[in-house]
């Protein structure tokens, strides 16, 4: 290979590297042509910045040993390479800074880190939680009677839990994971795995839930499916050794949207056809990079998104024809005073779900909710930053563990307070009123000679 060719190769490599680095800092969400590439390139560059830095340095050293940087073009290539390294170094620092951002976001809620356990876990896959009829919506697909064709959909979930069963008097808290994929793709095997595995190793039971997708169904069928899952989990609490009084929900992207609505529409009969009396409430919510507005009231979506995608595929009606339906599908419009505690997580470089809407949602919810609302904005993070255990992902899921553990402890304390108050009242009454009869201790005869035994509670 000639000197000229080596120099041109070095310049081409450096230009390619600097383009990816610059795009990671300034991904586009306004260009239909570059939108998809810009998202994927920035996501993989940001979350694997350390990997890119290593191979870029090694590649530059190799090209340098071949004499590729001797000419003017080569020197320009070297300058671009060094600039790319600096940018990647900044991204790595921002990933580590997530730990401080988490501490700031959780200030006042969970001051101390959660003690880490390393319980071995097991995964049970494809547990059926419901079978529902789905009306096919494809054009021209008709049954023999001329009606819309129907099929049965088997809805399934995966269970993540500690390998050892709980003790006889132990009940474990629950986390429900809702996958994303724009309401049209996605599967329980692909998302939320780092968090589920961490929580299961800490004594939680996780349920990674599948639901029906568009265009096979329209909203709110996805939400109804998730409510079926919550009802099923409570019905099977004894089998899985879980605490039916504490179920938390999480999810990313479309899963962040649906998990937020699941938390904000507790026991709403409209979304529980045939199981209206089931308890579908959740006690904490942690949406990741969610979609909070189907109406684009703040104008941050790519032009035409509401009509050409959300309306055509997800809602299967237009905003002009049914604006109320779009508002009911927007978590921003469903904030309520009795919402459970929320931890809203979003990256400030998210090009798929506007961070501005996440900020607006958190403000609106905090203004009315009686429970804590924490907002964690991650500087330098793209969409889907938690798909694999990167530096930032590991820091964030540790913070989520801390938040959920705090919520569970507060929940248990609140449940114990009425009992403690009743005991205090009985003790005060006993001390204030002298006994009117000869009170004698009751002895369990079966316990004589065997030591004391607690009465069943």
Here the CATH number for the domain that contains residue 225 is 3.40.50.1820
Helices (H), 278-338: 305, 323-328
pLDDT of residue 135: 79
Domain ranges, residue 70: 3-97
Domain identity same for 328 and 401: yes
The verdict on whether 253 is a catalytic residue reads yes
Q: Would you say residue 309 lies in a domain?
A: yes
Domain identity same for 290 and 213: yes
- What mean pLDDT value characterizes the chain? 89
pLDDT of residue 354: 96
Q: What digits encode the pLDDT tens for the residues 152-191?
A: 999 999 999 999 999 999 999 999 999 999 999 999 999 9
pLDDT of residue 120: 97
Domain identity same for 197 and 317: yes
Check the CA dihedral 41-44-47-51 and report its sign: negative
pLDDT of residue 15: 98
CA distance 50 to 125: 34
Q: Is the pLDDT at 18 greater than 90, yes or no?
A: yes
How confident is residue 29, by pLDDT bands cut at 50, 70 and 90? confident
Domain identity same for 161 and 33: no
Q: Would you say residue 54 lies in a domain?
A: yes
Domain identity same for 75 and 140: no
* CA 211 distance to own-chain centroid: 15
Residue in the block written with tokens 């024809």 = 321
Q: Would you say residue 268 lies in a domain?
A: yes
The verdict on whether 4 is a catalytic residue reads no
Query: Which candidate in 84, 253, 330, 390 is catalytic?
Result: 253
Query: Domain ends where: 412, 427, 442?
Result: 412
How confident is residue 150, by pLDDT bands cut at 50, 70 and 90? confident
pLDDT of residue 432: 43
Query: Domain ends where: 374, 392, 412?
Result: 412
Q: Would you say residue 232 lies in a domain?
A: yes
Q: Would you say residue 419 lies in a domain?
A: no
What are the distances in angstroms from CA 126 to CA 68, 187, 280, 405?
Answer: 55, 11, 21, 27
Domain identity same for 71 and 132: no
Q: Is the pLDDT at 117 greater than 70, yes or no?
A: yes
Domain identity same for 407 and 332: yes
Write the burial class of residue 438 (CB in 10 Å: 0-12 exposed, 13-18 middle, 19+ buried). exposed
pLDDT of residue 31: 86
Q: Would you say residue 175 lies in a domain?
A: yes
CA distance 436 to 124: 59
Domain identity same for 144 and 55: no
- Domains held by the chain: number: 2
Query: Which candidate in 383, 386, 390, 411 is catalytic?
Result: 383
Domain identity same for 139 and 92: no
Q: Is the pLDDT at 12 greater than 90, yes or no?
A: yes
pLDDT of residue 151: 87
Domain identity same for 212 and 293: yes
Q: Is the pLDDT at 412 greater than 70, yes or no?
A: yes
| Of the candidate ranges 79-88, 299-308, 383-392, 414-423, the one whose mean pLDDT is the lowest | 414-423
Residue 186, both tokens: 């996605």
Query: Which candidate in 333, 350, 357, 386 is catalytic?
Result: 350
Q: Is the pLDDT at 141 greater than 60, yes or no?
A: no
Q: Would you say residue 376 lies in a domain?
A: yes
Domain identity same for 322 and 387: yes
pLDDT of residue 30: 83
Q: Is the pLDDT at 40 greater than 50, yes or no?
A: yes
What are the distances in angstroms from CA 68 to CA 21, 52, 75, 392?
Answer: 22, 20, 9, 36
The verdict on whether 338 is a catalytic residue reads no
The stretch 348-359 carries a mean pLDDT of: 97
Domain identity same for 261 and 385: yes
Q: Which of 157, 151, 153, 150 is nearest to 132 (CA)?
A: 153
The stretch 313-341 carries a mean pLDDT of: 98
The stretch 392-415 carries a mean pLDDT of: 95
Q: Would you say residue 426 lies in a domain?
A: no
What are the distances in angstroms from CA 131 to CA 18, 160, 280, 457?
Answer: 51, 22, 18, 37
CA distance 27 to 352: 10
């Amino acid at each position: 290979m000639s000197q000229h060719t080596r120099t041109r190769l070095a310049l081409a490599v450096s230009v390619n590297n600097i383009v990816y680095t610059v795009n990671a800092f300034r991904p586009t969400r306004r260009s239909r042509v570059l939108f998809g590439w810009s998202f994927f390139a920035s996501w993989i560059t940001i979350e694997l910045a350390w990997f890119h830095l290593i191979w870029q340095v090694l590649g530059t050293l190799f090209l340098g040993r071949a004499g590729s940087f001797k000419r003017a073009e080569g020197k320009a290539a070297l300058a671009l390479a060094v600039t790319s390294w600096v940018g990647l170094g900044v991204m790595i620092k921002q990933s580590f800074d997530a730990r401080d951002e988490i501490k700031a976001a959780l200030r006042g809620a969970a001051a101390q880190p959660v003690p880490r356990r390393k319980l071995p876990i097991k995964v049970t896959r494809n547990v059926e939680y419901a079978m529902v009829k789905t009306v096919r919506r494809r054009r021209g697909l008709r049954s023999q009677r001329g009606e819309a064709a129907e099929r049965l959909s088997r809805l399934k979930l995966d269970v993540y839990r500690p390998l050892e069963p709980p003790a006889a008097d132990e009940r474990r808290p629950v986390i429900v994971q809702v996958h994303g994929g724009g309401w049209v793709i996605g599967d329980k095997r692909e998302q939320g795995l780092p968090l589920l595995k961490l929580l299961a190793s800490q004594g939680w039971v996780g349920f990674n839930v599948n639901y029906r997708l568009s265009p096979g169904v329209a909203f709110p069928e996805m939400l109804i499916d998730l409510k079926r899952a919550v009802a099923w989990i409570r019905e099977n609490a004894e089998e899985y050794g879980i605490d039916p009084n504490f179920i938390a929900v999480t999810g990313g992207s479309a899963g962040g949207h649906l998990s937020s609505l699941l938390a904000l529409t507790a026991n709403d009969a409209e979304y529980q056809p045939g199981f209206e009396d089931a308890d579908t409430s959740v006690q904490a919510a942690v949406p990741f990079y969610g979609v909070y507005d189907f109406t684009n009231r703040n104008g941050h979506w790519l032009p035409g998104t509401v009509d050409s995608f959300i309306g055509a595929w997800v809602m299967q009606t237009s905003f002009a024809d049914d604006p109320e339906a779009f508002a009911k599908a927007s978590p921003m419009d469903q904030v309520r005073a009795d919402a459970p505690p929320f931890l809203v997580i979003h990256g400030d470089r998210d090009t798929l779900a506007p961070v501005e809407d996440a900020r607006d949602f958190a403000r609106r919810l905090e203004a009315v909710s009686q429970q804590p609302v924490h907002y964690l904005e991650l500087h330098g993070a793209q969409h889907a930053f938690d798909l694999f255990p990167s530096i930032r992902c590991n820091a964030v899921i540790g913070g989520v563990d801390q938040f959920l553990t705090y919520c569970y402890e507060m929940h248990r304390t609140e449940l114990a307070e009425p009992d403690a108050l009743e005991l205090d009242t009985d003790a005060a009454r006993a001390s204030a009123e002298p006994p009117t009869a000869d009170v004698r201790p009751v002895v369990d005869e079966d316990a004589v000679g065997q030591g004391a035994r607690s009465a069943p509670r």
